[in-house]
């Protein structure tokens, strides 16, 4: 938190400075104005930047008629993704949710299983688990990278978990806890090295929800490693609000040849031959990314570095502007990695101050959103198993996301 001891929205303890939510809101507004001049607004939360060769590549699909499930742009898009992430294989999908679903099925998540997942994430992460007939088992996060808290998770699994053979069993529900899905929240890398150790200790498979984190890395002695490469499989999203977009789309990455083959099979209706006959060998999914979306994606990936640089620049400006601000902290990269700055965020000491700032910023043309509503509070997940979720509650009441698009400071050429 901030280093000044301001009691927010509380009637004064006489020996401490009292600063009301209103003062904080005024102060935050002035700092925002210094980064993004209010007069030049309004500023959307995150708008897609349709730049570079997008028009040419999409036009190629329209001119040639290769707009659908067959065509060269998908291969090219997958190839570009392997180069950017360093993974051996990339499989493009219709969206990030489908990617997660296919990943969970492929590592053997079955009806009746439980899968550990942060409550503090977008609903798609838990929904993909539900599609498998499994139950999301919610775990708490930490307030540096906003990802799963490794220490809390390890202690919790020691309490509720029991190893039988090569499976982790939940002592209370008797279900197999098959996997965990760390989420790189708002682009901030989760503490994967610590989480991988815990997964190994408790016989858990990791699927990474890297939907928000294209361009985010974890640091290590041998250089930076892209998010999505620590689990067996990583899943990305290229929805319109993400760092790059294919309109709608997603991708899976893995270094495992066999998993890659299975993922491709499962996401392309399990067709077994290339000939004229249509033979399929299992009930599978039509999850392949259409060619026209991949064409847009190729153009978007060509300028990924420009977009990441523009977002880094914006984030550095926010960081400087909010340094020393009373009652609030700007969320910068965690010490173990580099965020892609998908969504920049502020964390307030006090939920009342957050609420007032949210209203004031939105009224002033800065489109902001409160942090995720914890999934365990939603009615479809009311009965889902869960660890203590103190930090999740605090974050969701005290955080907000700021305008974060790559084009906000005018650096992207159309």
Interacting residue ranges for ligand PLP, rule: CB under 6 A: 95-97, 121-122, 124-125, 183, 209, 211-212, 237, 239, 250
- Closer residue to ligand PLP (CB): 28 or 179: 179
Which residue blocks in 116-256 are alpha helix, DSSP H? 123-131, 150-160, 192-201
- Closer residue to ligand PLP (CB): 183 or 356: 183
**127 with 378: CB under 8 angstroms?**
no
In angstroms and rounded to an integer, the radius of gyration of the C-alpha atoms of the chain is: 22
Residue 184: which of 165, 214, 204, 210 has the closest Cα?
210
- Closer residue to ligand PLP (CB): 125 or 191: 125
- Closer residue to ligand PLP (CB): 10 or 84: 84
Residue in the block written with tokens 């300028």: 303
What's the min distance (Å) between Cβ of 23 and ligand PLP?
Answer: 33
In this structure, the strands spanning 205-209 and 217-218 are unpaired
- Closer residue to ligand PLP (CB): 66 or 287: 287
- Closer residue to ligand PLP (CB): 21 or 191: 191
Comparing every residue's Cβ against ligand PLP, the nearest one is 96
What's the min distance (Å) between Cβ of 237 and ligand PLP?
Answer: 3
What's the min distance (Å) between Cβ of 241 and ligand PLP?
Answer: 7
What's the min distance (Å) between Cβ of 190 and ligand PLP?
Answer: 11
> How far is residue 24's CA from residue 326's CA, in Å, rounded to a whole number?
7
Order of all β-strands in the sheet with 345-348: 328-330, 345-348, 399-401, 369-370
What's the min distance (Å) between Cβ of 73 and ligand PLP?
Answer: 18
**414 with 50: CB under 8 angstroms?**
yes
10 Å CB burial of residue 70 (0-12, 13-18, 19+) is exposed
What's the min distance (Å) between Cβ of 378 and ligand PLP?
Answer: 15
């Amino acid at each position: 938190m901030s280093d000044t001891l301001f009691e927010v929205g509380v009637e004064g303890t006489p020996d401490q400075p009292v600063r009301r939510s209103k003062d904080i809101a005024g102060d935050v507004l002035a700092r925002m104005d210094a980064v993004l001049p209010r007069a030049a607004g309004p500023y959307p939360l995150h708008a897609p930047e349709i730049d570079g060769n997008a028009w040419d590549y999409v036009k190629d699909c329209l001119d040639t008629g290769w707009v659908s499930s067959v065509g060269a742009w998908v291969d090219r898009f997958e190839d570009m993704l392997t180069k950017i992430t360093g993974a051996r294989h990339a499989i493009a999908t219709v969206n990030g949710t489908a990617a997660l679903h296919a990943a969970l099925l492929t590592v053997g998540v079955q009806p009746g299983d439980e899968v550990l997942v942060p409550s503090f994430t977008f609903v798609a992460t838990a929904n993909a688990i539900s599609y498998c007939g499994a139950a999301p088992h919610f775990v708490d996060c930490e307030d540096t990278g906003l990802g799963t808290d490794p220490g809390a998770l390890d202690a919790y699994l020691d309490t509720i978990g029991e190893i039988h053979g090569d499976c982790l069993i939940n002592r209370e529900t008797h279900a197999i806890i098959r996997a965990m899905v760390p989420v790189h929240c708002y682009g901030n890398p989760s503490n994967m090295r610590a989480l991988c150790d815990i997964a190994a200790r408790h016989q858990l498979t990791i699927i990474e929800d890297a939907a928000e984190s294209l361009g985010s890395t974890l640091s290590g002695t041998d250089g930076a490693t892209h998010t999505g490469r620590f689990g067996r499989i990583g899943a990305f999203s290229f929805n319109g609000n993400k760092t790059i977009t294919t309109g709608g789309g997603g991708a899976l990455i893995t270094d495992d040849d066999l998993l890659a083959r299975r993922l491709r099979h499962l996401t392309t209706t399990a067709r077994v031959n290339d000939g004229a006959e249509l033979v399929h060998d299992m009930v599978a999914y039509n999850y392949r990314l259409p060619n026209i979306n991949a064409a847009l994606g190729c153009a978007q990936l060509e300028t990924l570095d420009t977009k990441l640089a523009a977002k880094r620049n914006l984030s550095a400006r926010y960081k400087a502007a909010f340094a020393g601000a009373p009652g609030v902290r700007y969320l910068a990269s965690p010490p173990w990695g580099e965020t892609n700055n998908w969504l920049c965020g502020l964390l307030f000491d006090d939920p009342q101050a957050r609420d007032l700032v949210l209203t004031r910023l939105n009224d002033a043309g800065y489109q902001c959103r409160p942090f995720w509503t914890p999934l365990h509070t939603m009615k479809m997940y009311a009965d889902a198993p869960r660890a203590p979720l103190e930090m999740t509650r605090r974050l969701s009441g005290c955080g907000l996301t700021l305008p974060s698009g790559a084009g906000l400071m005018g650096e992207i050429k159309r």
